[in-house]
């Protein structure tokens, strides 16, 4: 991109705590689009308007208060007619963002587990989701550097989406070869999807920021609606729909007269189709969608009263400047229009943003909050990371698991709506604390499901309903926690650096749900113990003939197969899932009653000044 300009507004805020819901087979993640990534299912527009606000750092205190008060006291307005085209554009952009996410967080882990990979190997693939946990590192670059000619957000959306399309096509052409030997090519597969998620996370930063300028002020709350609808549709297509039509069993049972050994849609076809679709949408955005349609409409109407003076991106998008200071009236309102400005170089602008992040993390109360984020999800990690995978291992079909996600979908929307209302009171973390206990109960229920799995392998209606109920409980509690913590982030963020502040908090919250997964999945493998013994019960043997073989401890599906292929029988001596899940639940109970509960109550009672960066 040539002719870069630098804008000094703070980093865009990521509102999605991907891996925050249990739809993802390895759990804590993307219904929150999780969501859920699974897609983050975000119910309350109040939370999302603030958390999406990429320019929050430049909003005056009075403007931020105005948004909060209006959102809390007034009913949502209907979407203005003039905003409907832009709203549809946002839905489409979030939808295509959800396509790779649905594959990476949903379908691919199920496919990998169905291919007899160990839990540790599945844990390696979870690294593909890490770009969302480290957006904090590179989001200032996306928010600051752009081509003035192309536009601040389109400068990133256009090339990133085009690269995403090309990556999908190239991956589609190679995917069958990679999956011929998944164990050998696991790192290549992980890197490929890591690249896709990195591109999606970069696009997410730009689209979240664009949502604040492409919609009018009265339609800002619909940015979260576009996000929720788009991400969930994309995730749903790449998870439930893809797994269903990729299944030969489903196609043979319901759609074919002559059975075949492949589904209606292959992963190769799916990737290539969406690769070309990405490129098509990129062309449409490039040629037909202006960077700032609202500003163009204002200029055409010559109506200064419609200008969004409280939106920093509309006022300073075309200026390579930054306010030097701010001043306040006697009533506390902020004066931005009379303050001088200073030209900033790209390096200076980036340094300023990273300095803001550092200043946020240095705050004593933020340090406590960071620790809370990093340890608060340990208690339910084994359940959300491995219960679905364990069901697959036991014989539950991935198509049936995908159906549970389909059933979850309407309930998630309802859960998100009510969770937003419950989190808007004077104790925003009270729902979060109650939902913490609910997720521990869901983890215990997950263990019961595995223990009670039918020995015959035949899934009856009662057991299927129990699986659905356990998923609904986990999703409900996860959604409450997600919305509640977003509401709290919004409440404590310093309006003068709101974008940077909330990006920092949300990124650390995401990381708290990511880092335990690899540890938990590794522990399950290490704590699982099996023994390969001779299948010939009539033979008299003093020693085990397989004791020196690499598959003697047949604790993975691959080793079990090797044992059987060599004339042995693998007996299970210990299942690491049960121990790991109970260990996590016990850690969750202990940390909750000994530290998390009292710390959360302490933090929510702090005054706003306790969260402010000293000038």
Residues 6+ apart with CB under 8 A from 70: none
pLDDT at 295: 67
pLDDT at 323: 42
How far is residue 306's CA from residue 300's CA, in Å, rounded to a whole number?
12
Residue 307 and residue 298 in contact, taking contact as beta carbons nearer than 8 Å: yes
- The full length of the chain comes to 615
User: pLDDT higher for 483 or 371?
Assistant: 371
User: pLDDT higher for 457 or 405?
Assistant: 457
- Flag whether pLDDT at 322 surpasses 60: no
- Flag whether pLDDT at 62 surpasses 50: no
Confidence of residue 501 (pLDDT cuts 50, 70, 90): confident
End-to-end CA distance of the chain: 35
DSSP label of 341: E
Residue 547's alpha-carbon distances to 286, 537, 538, 550, 562, in angstroms, are 64, 17, 19, 8, 14
Residue 81 and residue 16 in contact, taking contact as beta carbons nearer than 8 Å: no
453: left (phi over 0), alpha (psi -120 to 50) or beta: beta
In terms of Cβ atoms closer than 10 Å to its own Cβ (0-12, 13-18, 19+), residue 600 is buried
pLDDT digit string, tens, across residues 258-271: 899 889 999 999 99
Q: Which strand (E) or helix (H) includes residue 205? A: helix 182-214
SS3 string, 18-34, reads CCCECCCCCCCECECCC
* pTM recorded for the entire structure: 0.77
- Flag whether pLDDT at 288 surpasses 70: yes
pLDDT at 47: 29
pLDDT at 307: 43
Q: Minimum mean pLDDT among 66-75, 410-419, 487-496, 503-512: which range? A: 66-75
How far is residue 485's CA from residue 290's CA, in Å, rounded to a whole number?
35
pLDDT at 125: 94
Percent of the chain exceeding pLDDT 90 equals 34
Topology match between the domains 82-294 and 351-528+575-614: yes
351-528+575-614 CATH fold = Growth Hormone; Chain: A; (1.20.1250)
pLDDT at 224: 74
CA 5 to chain centre: 30
pLDDT digit string, tens, across residues 234-253: 988 998 889 889 988 888 88
Percent of the chain exceeding pLDDT 70 equals 75
When pLDDT is averaged across residues 564-584 and rounded to a whole number, the result is 90
CATH 1.20.1250 fits 82-294, yes or no: yes
Residue 7's alpha-carbon distances to 216, 325, 337, 352, in angstroms, are 21, 16, 17, 11
- Flag whether pLDDT at 173 surpasses 80: yes
Four-residue CA torsion sign, 389, 394, 400, 406: negative
User: pLDDT higher for 303 or 377?
Assistant: 377
pLDDT digit string, tens, across residues 359-368: 888 999 999 9
- Flag whether pLDDT at 289 surpasses 80: yes
Opening angle at CA 347, ends 344 and 348, nearest 5: 45
Domain-by-domain residue ranges, the chain? 82-294, 351-528+575-614, 531-574
């Amino acid at each position: 991109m040539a002719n870069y300009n630098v804008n000094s507004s703070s980093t865009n805020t990521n509102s999605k705590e991907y891996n925050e819901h249990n739809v993802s087979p390895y759990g804590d993640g993307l219904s929150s689009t999780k969501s859920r990534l699974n897609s983050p299912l975000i119910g309350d527009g109040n939370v999302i308007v603030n958390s999406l606000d990429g320019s929050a750092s430049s909003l005056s205190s009075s403007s931020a208060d105005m948004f909060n008060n209006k959102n809390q006291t007034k009913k949502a307005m209907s979407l203005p007619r003039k905003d409907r085209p832009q709203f549809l554009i946002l839905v489409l952009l979030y939808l295509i963002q959800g396509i790779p996410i649905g594959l990476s967080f949903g379908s691919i882990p199920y496919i990998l587990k169905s291919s007899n990979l160990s839990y540790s190997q599945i844990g390696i693939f979870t690294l593909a989701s890490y770009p969302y946990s480290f957006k904090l590192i590179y989001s200032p670059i996306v928010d600051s550097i752009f081509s003035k000619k192309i536009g601040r957000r389109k400068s990133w959306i256009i090339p990133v989406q085009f690269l995403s399309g090309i990556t999908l096509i190239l991956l589609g052409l190679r995917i069958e070869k990679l999956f011929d030997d998944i164990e050998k090519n696991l790192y290549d597969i992980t890197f490929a999807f890591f690249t896709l998620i990195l591109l999606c996370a970069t696009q997410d930063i730009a689209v979240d920021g664009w949502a604040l300028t492409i919609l009018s002020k009265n339609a800002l709350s619909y940015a979260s609606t576009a996000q929720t609808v788009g991400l969930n549709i994309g995730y749903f297509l790449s998870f439930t729909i893809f797994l269903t039509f990729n299944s030969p069993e489903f196609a043979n049972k319901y759609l074919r007269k002559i059975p075949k050994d492949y589904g209606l849609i292959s992963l190769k076809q799916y990737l290539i189709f969406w690769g070309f679709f990405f490129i098509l949408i990129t062309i449409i955005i490039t040629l037909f969608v202006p960077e700032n349609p609202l500003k163009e409409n204002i200029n055409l109407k010559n109506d200064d009263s419609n200008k969004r003076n409280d939106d920093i991106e509309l006022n300073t998008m075309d200026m390579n400047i930054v306010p030097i200071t701010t001043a306040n009236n006697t009533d506390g309102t902020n004066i931005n229009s009379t303050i001088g400005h200073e030209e900033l170089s790209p390096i200076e602008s980036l340094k300023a943003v990273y300095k803001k992040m550092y200043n946020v993390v240095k705050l004593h109360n933020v340090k406590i909050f960071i620790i809370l984020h990093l340890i608060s999800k340990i208690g339910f990690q084994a359940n959300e990371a491995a219960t679905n995978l364990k069901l697959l291992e036991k014989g539950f079909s991935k198509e049936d698991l995908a159906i549970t996600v389909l059933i979850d979908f309407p309930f998630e929307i309802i859960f998100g709506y009510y969770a937003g209302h419950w989190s808007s009171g004077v104790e925003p973390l009270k729902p979060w604390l109650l939902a913490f206990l609910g997720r521990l109960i869901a983890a215990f229920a997950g263990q019961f499901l595995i223990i009670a799995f039918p020995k015959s392998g035949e899934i009856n209606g009662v057991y299927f309903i129990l699986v659905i109920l356990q998923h609904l409980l986990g999703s409900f509690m996860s959604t409450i926690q997600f919305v509640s913590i977003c509401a709290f982030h919004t409440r404590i963020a310093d309006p003068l650096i709101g974008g940077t502040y909330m990006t920092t908090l949300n990124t650390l919250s995401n990381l708290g749900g990511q880092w335990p997964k690899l540890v938990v999945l590794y522990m399950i493998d290490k704590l699982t113990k099996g023994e390969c013994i001779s299948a010939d019960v009539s033979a008299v043997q003093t020693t085990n003939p397989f004791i020196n073989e690499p598959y003697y401890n047949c604790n993975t599906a691959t080793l079990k197969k090797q044992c059987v292929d060599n004339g042995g029988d693998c007996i299970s001596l210990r299942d690491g899932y049960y121990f790991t899940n109970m260990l996590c639940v016990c850690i969750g109970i202990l940390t909750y009653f000994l530290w998390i509960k009292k710390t959360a109550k302490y933090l929510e009672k702090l005054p706003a000044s306790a969260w402010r960066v000293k000038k």
